């Protein structure tokens, strides 16, 4: 598995992260095989959140990986907090309490990365700074980041938080690529020119923040996958054509498309299928040409001005 530096940190991570949101859908033996396979393939970066399965996903993961000191030294753990029933909560008390719960469920003393999950409209960045300082000084969290935040929200945090924001987890796929496409529709009088995210992709690149695309196979907001979907015939024909050229699956090409972008993104997978996770990991070694990348973009229905 090819690796990269995460944001401005010195942390070396695989270019594909293994999302564990659905691990509670597997039987224990299946979950154990899944996790073991990812490790054998060099994918040792695992993404969690305290809301996944109400915390059960973290517990199951720790159980099936057989968490102990030796195991912990050889994996990278990321989790997220801030989503509560009916609200978002970035208060100091909630962040600290959430991390303690995460660590207990994962059976570890520390997280490599903690992300703030969804922006809290009532955020008091001074409290976030206090929470981060306490978590860092106690050794409970080594690196910090955010999820689904725009540039000004990150800038507000950075005014008070001294730790670098190393990652921003954002929805991005071939069919949900507005953060890319509005970049070449500047000053145009069309819908594609609408800047919906404050140029978050450029901001992250300028500030050495790794973009972690979530739902890399989804279209819309969890409306389904675009691969093999009759709604996207031209896109699938193009992906299949390029997949045949590289002798890989369409899954591999969908991830390779994200990895081809010079922002050095780290896609977060969501599959619990062993063959599909292997196909995702293979994308680490597929380098699409510029022409192939644009052909896929246009086949998804995007237009160049």
Give me the catalytic one of 52, 110, 246, 294.
Answer: 52
Q: 245 Cβ partners below 8 Å, 6+ apart?
A: none
d(CA 77, CA 46): 5
Q: State how far the Cα of 273 lies from the Cα of 178, in Å rounded to an integer.
A: 28
Q: Does the active-site annotation cover 203?
A: no
**Helix residue spans in 118-228 (DSSP H):** 125-137, 151-160, 178-181, 200-206
Angle among Cα 193, 199, 205 to the nearest 5 degrees reads 135
Structure tokens at 56: 């059960």
CB 196 within 8 A of CB 178: yes
Token pair listed for 215: 């739902």
User: Over the range 186-201, which residues count as b (16 or more CB within 10 Å of their CB) and which as e?
Assistant: eeeeeeeeeeebbbbb
| Catalytic site positions | 52
């Amino acid at each position: 598995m090819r690796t990269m530096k995460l944001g401005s940190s010195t942390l070396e991570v695989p270019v594909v992260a293994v999302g564990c949101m659905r691990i509670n859908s597997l039987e224990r033996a299946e979950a154990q095989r899944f996790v073991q396979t990812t490790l054998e393939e060099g994918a040792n970066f695992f993404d969690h959140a305290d809301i996944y399965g109400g915390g059960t996903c973290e517990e199951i993961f720790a159980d099936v990986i057989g968490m102990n000191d030796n195991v912990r030294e050889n994996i990278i753990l990321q989790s997220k907090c801030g989503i509560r029933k009916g609200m978002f909560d970035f208060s100091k008390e909630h962040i600290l309490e959430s991390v303690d719960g995460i660590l207990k469920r994962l059976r570890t003393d520390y997280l490599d990365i903690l992300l703030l999950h969804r922006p809290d409209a009532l955020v008091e960045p001074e409290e976030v700074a206090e929470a981060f300082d306490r978590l860092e000084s106690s050794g409970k969290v080594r690196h910090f980041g955010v999820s689904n935040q725009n540039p000004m929200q990150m800038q507000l945090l950075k005014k008070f938080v001294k730790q670098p924001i190393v990652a921003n987890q954002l929805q991005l796929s071939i069919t949900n690529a507005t953060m890319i496409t509005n970049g070449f529709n500047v000053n145009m009088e069309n819908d594609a020119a609408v800047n919906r995210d404050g140029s978050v992709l450029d901001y992250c690149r300028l500030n050495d923040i790794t973009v972690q695309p979530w739902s890399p196979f989804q279209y819309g907001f969890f409306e389904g996958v675009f691969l093999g979907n009759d709604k996207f015939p031209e896109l699938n024909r193009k992906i299949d054509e390029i997949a045949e050229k590289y002798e890989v699956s369409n899954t591999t090409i969908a991830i390779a498309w994200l990895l081809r972008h010079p922002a050095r993104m780290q896609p977060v997978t969501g599959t619990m299928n062993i063959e599909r996770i292997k196909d995702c990991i293979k994308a680490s070694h597929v380098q699409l040409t510029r022409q192939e990348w644009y052909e896929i973009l246009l086949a998804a229905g995007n237009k160049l001005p």
